[in-house]
A and B are shown apart, each in its own frame.
Chain A
Amino acid sequence: MKRRELLRAGVLASAAAALPRTPALAQNTAPSPELTPAQSGVDASKDLAAPGWKPLFLDAHQNETLIVLSDLILPATDTPGAKEALVNRYIDLVLAAETPETQRAFLNSLGYLDGESMRRYQAAFRYLKREDQDDLLHALAYPRANSGWTGEAGGPDVGHGHFEQLKQRIITAYYSSQTGERELGWDGAFAHGSYEGCNHPEGSHK
């Protein structure tokens, strides 16, 4: 390979990587060469909260469905829930960078939820009454026992599989957010003294 070709390939690749997808991201997209954005000190934590945010990958209905679903899975309690943590925006960002197979798999799972909702309640999931949403989720959330309500005993539990796919995305998005770190009780400091380990007398664990 010629040097010029290599250089040009390199320039194009970094230009593509740096291309802002939305104007709000522009300020954070000038990484130093051969350093990751993190190593360059880029702080992307405010990007998703930018005014005028629009989804990169999801359509409006999918986005709204995801907001409703995520806030049912991780609701506001005495701490904020998934909606406030902008879980939908993070998932949209990751999906936009994912492979077509992974994107399709996610949309399949989201589509399954709406499909079940239509089949049972003749309405898309996000328009259901809260108790119907809960009934539907409850049916999907736990692995089916052999004599399950669907009458498909023995076969793979498709509904639960889709639920788990969606749930994994949502909990990853939530607990990796600043809100999620607070929910787990992290005080924001990196050093908390020495690791103390077990201080019990020998033989005290039975």
Chain B
Amino acid sequence: MSGNYAQQDPLQQPYDAIVVGSGATGGWAAKQLAEAGLRVALLEAGRAISPKEFTEHMPSYKLRYRDHSPEIVRTRPVQKQCYACMEYNYEWFVNDLENPYSTPAGKPFTWQRLRVLGGRSLVWGRQSYRLSDADFKAASRDGYGDDWPISYADLAPYYDIVERYVGISGAAEGNEMLPDGRFLPPMKMSCGEVLLRERVKAKFGYTVTIGRAAVLTQNYNGRLACHYCGPCERGCMTFSYFSSPFTTVKDAVASGKCTLITNAVVSHVDMDNALNKAQGVTYVDRLTRQVKEVRGKAVILCAQALESTRILLNSSTREYPKGLANSSGALGHYLMDHVVGGGASGRLPDFKTLPDANEPQRPNGIYIPRFRNTPSGNKHSRFIRGYGYQGGAGAEFNMSAEGYGASFKKAVKEGIYGIGLGGFGESLARWDNYVEIDTNLKDAWGIPALHIVMAHGDNEVALMEDAAATAAEMLESAGAKDIRVQANVEMPGMAIHELGTARMGADPKKAVLNPFNQTHDVKNLFVMDGASFVSSACQNPTLTMMAITVRACDQLIDRFHKNDI
């Protein structure tokens, strides 16, 4: 079994680098470091994965409950809150009974987690957007919070590297809030989306663009173009959407310099207190429950924001009583997750297209970049920052047709032409949104669990109210009827964009990480994932996480070459 890898490994310990987590960021760290010649141990808490378990081409009628299983909720009541956790693939998601966390009364937080090689990159939404200096330097403009210690110019070359490798389909728009990237050809818009694009440009002056998606529109980098079957979250036999096991992790292992250790549930970082250096990590074998250690010259946490922070909080020493590398006290704080729940939907009665069960399924929608509080626009009176929309339009079978009988059957097939927009709003970094260790709660491997405290604030509520009202106006401009407005604020975690809790910053008194994701306190300890974000912006964050990881690895490789680690 995989638990023996460490002992059998020809690379021998200590490794040059230990990477914890094999998802979007961990895969990149392992690839970059191993391809640069460093000897890497890549630890994954879950099992390995095989394309044989992909189910994207299995019709739901072959499933016992046809993807309406009431049983998943017994072991995965939290995971089931995400659409992607389904009867097809629920085993990829953690068993909530084995992986508990707590929240205060009245402040629910949903925490979506996968423990399997590749982590959430297997089921992610694939939307890939750059941040701009309007995001990195937002605090300087509106006075709220802190600027990032890096600017767009620092990250742009790394966005390029990531995009060139991953393959992002999209259209260049020259929008000041959404820098263009190195795109593969964009996917097409539906007729309704084209109409919305034209009307929104004419009436509001805003941009409606096709989603920028980590889904290939042509054969690229050894992977095949999308065949438009639809449900990416069940896997892809042609590897057309980006997931780490079949790209970055594969490259890392192929380099001969990376040892993959699966089923390694990391509990904490081990310190050499005399030298103030991390000397490795301790993990529990997920299957045998044996406790094991791995030794390395550098420790890199890519376990996803909250897990990386949990590991640091569980690594307290006498020198760092409030969590490892936490002399700032900021570790665990400034938790963010994009606010969702504001939007509108309706139908476009002028489009007579019938729904077609054999139409290619586009795994992507449209995107409207942020238009509030832009550098060239006016300041909004009720909120700072802004939101972007995801959405789409097309013919659908009309399952909500009225009545019954033969006329109902006919109405279903006549369909409706639906259109909808949903906002993703910036979540302000606030000290009061935080995680800490719940001293009364452990997971199935005996590792202390998190207590997560987060609530969206007034600014997030105002964003969603505006997102709802403005979406309705945009749909109306396209001639939509029966417009339903939704001005909710969903519980934190629902965007599955957890960010912050080990933020970067130039000042060691205020931030956990330096601008290269190295902890201020411990020079060979790094956090290279969403935990490092200073602000959330409103764009889907994975592309930026990957670019930050590649940038941080670039500097780490330099330091290795200079023997400075």
Interface residue stretch chosen among B63-71, B172-180, B467-475 = B63-71
- Interface digits, A162-185 against B, CB 8 Å rule (1 contact, 0 not)? 000001000110011110110111
Residues of B close to A146: CB separation below 8 A: none
In this complex, what residue of B is CB-closest to A69?
B404
Task: Tell whether A90 pairs with B66 under 8 Å between CB atoms, given A141-B404, A185-B356.
Answer: yes
Contact between chains at B228 and A194 (CB < 8 Å): yes
A34–B193 Cα distance when bound, in Å, is 41
In this complex, what residue of A is CB-closest to B446?
A1
Is the C-beta of B352 less than 8 angstroms from some C-beta in chain A?
no
Interchain nearest-CB distance for B183 vs A (Å): 17
Interchain nearest-CB distance for A8 vs B (Å): 13
Task: Tell whether A77 pairs with B194 under 8 Å between CB atoms, given A39-B53, A185-B357.
Answer: no
A194–B187 Cα distance when bound, in Å, is 9
- Interface digits, A146-165 against B, CB 8 Å rule (1 contact, 0 not)? 00000000000000000000
Interface residue stretch chosen among B8-16, B27-35, B54-62, B448-456 = B54-62
- Interface digits, A89-123 against B, CB 8 Å rule (1 contact, 0 not)? 01001100111001000000000000000000000
Residues of A close to B359: CB separation below 8 A: 192, 195
A127–B399 Cα distance when bound, in Å, is 29
Residues of B close to A79: CB separation below 8 A: 409
Contact between chains at B61 and A47 (CB < 8 Å): no
Is the C-beta of B227 less than 8 angstroms from some C-beta in chain A?
yes
* Chain A CB within 10 A, most for which of B54, B58, B198, B405: B405
In this complex, what residue of A is CB-closest to B66?
A176
Is the C-beta of B361 less than 8 angstroms from some C-beta in chain A?
yes
Contact between chains at B198 and A198 (CB < 8 Å): no
Is the C-beta of B377 less than 8 angstroms from some C-beta in chain A?
no
Interchain nearest-CB distance for A106 vs B (Å): 12
In this complex, what residue of A is CB-closest to B71?
A97
Contact between chains at B402 and A141 (CB < 8 Å): yes
Task: Tell whether A192 pairs with B187 under 8 Å between CB atoms, given A35-B53, A38-B62, A97-B65.
Answer: no
Residues on B facing A (Cβ under 8 Å): 47, 53-71, 87-91, 187-195, 198, 227-229, 288-289, 355-362, 397, 399, 402-406, 408-409, 412-413, 444, 446
Residues on A facing B (Cβ under 8 Å): 1, 3, 6, 17, 28, 34-40, 42-45, 47, 72-75, 77, 79, 90, 93-94, 97-99, 102, 137, 141-142, 167, 171-172, 175-178, 180-181, 183-198, 200, 202-203, 205
Query: In the complex, given contacts A37-B63, A45-B62, A172-B68, what are 4 additional A-B residue pairs having Cβ atoms less than 8 angstroms apart?
Result: A17-B71, A28-B64, A180-B61, A189-B358
